[in-house]
Amino acid sequence: MDTLSILKDIAIIIIAAKFLGLIARKLKAPQVAGEIIAGLLIGPSVFNIVQTNDFLTGMAEIGVILLMFNAGLETDLDQLKKSGIKATLIACAGVAVPMALGTLLFMCFYGFSAPGTENFTRGLFIGTILAATSVSITVQALRELGKLSTEVGTTIMSAAIIDDVIGILVLTAVISLKNPKANIGLVALKTLLFFVFALIAGYLVYQLMKKIDSRYPHTRRIPIIGLALAFALSYVADKYFGVADITGAYCAGVILCSLNDAEYIGRKMDINSYMIFGPVFFASIGLQTNLRQLDTTILLFSAAFVVVGLVGKIIGCGAIARVCGFSGPDSLKIGVGMMTRGEVALIVAQRGLKAGMMDSRYFTSVILLIIISSIITPIALKALYAKSEKPETPQPEKAA
């Protein structure tokens, strides 16, 4: 592979991704949306000046691992413990309902198939993409409204964390079904064994890191060891347990999230992710998408995919919130707050492409869902809060 071509491609990707990312942020859209659009522009869809290759694919893989490691570091274990049964039930419904609707949607377009067939597995994977939730946009909207620390705000954040954990487990199970000889019982056993391994190894590593952190706080060796742990656990998960490597990276982050220097590790990881690996990953989504190959069917599918993605979260999370005792308006706020999709949905989609479970043209559907949900959610939340806080019109007194 030509080294000069690699340098040229990386330079183009970083400049285009960061420039369009900043424009997206100015327009109040997620920065990742701009980075994906950059990939579309420089890739085969428009100018075709950068082509994906093994080196860029490898860099994108590291980008995914860093993103999931950071997600694990940001996990609040105390909040998870306090969230209780309500947030867990809401998260479960937030995974199950969109996943079922997504699978049904795929089969409505491409034919119904029996469980175990390749077409059914592909449909199940499309449903899995819809299971992920990204509440970074919701958190910002609630913060601006002064509602982040309310019961609704706390429930949304807790449910989103649990939602991601469940989504990663589902992703691991569904990808394992790609193998026609896969035994779901064996898959479940290997997944369980991995988490037992991660729990035991994680406890030992945490105790070691805790001592190092107390003796050498805010030193570079701490994030270096953390990064090594993320790569090692990613390797072990995939190589020996058949679990998605991103699950290993996420677990590595969770292991270290209670350290005093967890935020410090996250900041150091974020430099690498923000500067190079993150832009390469998000741009690679655009590079792997060729809009010139789109047809009427995929455009219609994308529109339906967005609607199902939004409605699925409102129905699943909102209905269970109502059952759990929240008022009608608050249940709707929870459902709407869980609508947004982001990095995790892209990571799941990218994993499906790598495993041969979906075609690259479906990235268009995922990208549209991320952009539209990120725009609609803050607007809808603001309107819902404005309506619920609107003072009632006083009724005229009746004449005696």
pLDDT tens per residue, range 61-71: 898 888 888 87
pLDDT band for 397, please (50, 70, 90 cuts).
low
- Per mean pLDDT, which range of 30-44, 142-156, 215-229 is the poorest? 142-156
Query: What's the average model confidence in pLDDT over 58-82?
Result: 80
> Going by C-beta distance under 8 Å and a sequence separation of 6 or more, which residues neighbour residue 122?
106, 110, 357, 358
Mean pLDDT of 49-72: 87
> For residue range 191-243, what is the model confidence (pLDDT) as tens digits?
789 889 999 999 999 999 999 999 988 888 999 999 999 999 999 988 898 77
Above 90 in pLDDT, residue 153?
no
On the question of pLDDT at 59 being above 60, the answer is yes
Give the model's pLDDT for residue 147: 80
Say whether 136 sits in a helix, a strand or coil: helix
- Label residue 400 by pLDDT band (50, 70, 90): very low
**Is the pLDDT higher at 350 or at 99?**
99
CB 330 within 8 A of CB 153: no
Per-residue pLDDT tens for 234-273? 999 888 987 778 778 888 998 998 898 988 998 888 888 8
User: Among 207-211, 332-336, 351-355, whose mean pLDDT is lowest?
Assistant: 351-355
* Angle at alpha carbon of residue 368, lines to 367 and 372, rounded to 5°: 120
Is pLDDT of 393 > 90?
Answer: no
Residue 107 neighbours by CB under 8 Å, 6+ apart? 113, 119, 120, 123
- Find the mean pLDDT for residues 313-339: 92
Alpha carbon 61 to its chain's center: 15
Of 171, 204, 176, which Cα lies nearest the Cα of 190? 176
Average pLDDT over every residue of 83-99: 88
Question: Length of the chain in residues, anyone?
Answer: 400
The pair of three-digit structure tokens given for residue 60, joined into one six-digit string: 């994108």
CA atoms within 13 A on the CB side of 143: 7
How much is the average pLDDT of 268-294?
82
Contact 57, 284 (CB under 8 A): yes
Q: What integer pLDDT is reported at residue 394 of this predicted model? A: 54
What pLDDT is attached to residue 134?
Answer: 72
Provide CB contacts within 8 A for 8, sequence distance 6+. none
From the list 165, 185, 137, 163, the residue with the least C-alpha distance to 72 is: 165
The fraction of the chain above a pLDDT of 90, given in percent, is 32
Q: Which of 27-31, 78-82, 89-93 has the highest mean pLDDT?
A: 89-93
C-alpha distance from residue 344 to each of 64, 70, 151, 373, 386 (Å)? 9, 12, 25, 14, 30
Which is more confidently placed, 336 or 191? 336
User: pLDDT at residue 381 above 50?
Assistant: yes
E strands within 167-230?
none
Instruction: Report yes or no on whether pTM surpasses 0.95.
Output: no
Instruction: Give the residue with greater pLDDT, 394 vs 266.
Output: 266
Residue 34, pLDDT above cutoff 90: no
Query: The tokens 């034919």 sit on which residue?
Result: 111
Q: What is the mean pLDDT of the chain?
A: 84
Cα–Cα distances in angstroms (integers) from residue 386 to residues 135, 145, 277, 281, 317, in the given order = 20, 10, 40, 38, 21
Backbone angles phi, psi at 295, to 5 degrees: -125, 180
Q: Which residue has the tokens 């988490």?
A: 195
Instruction: For residue 54, give both structure tokens.
Output: 């093994």
Mean pLDDT of 277-298: 82
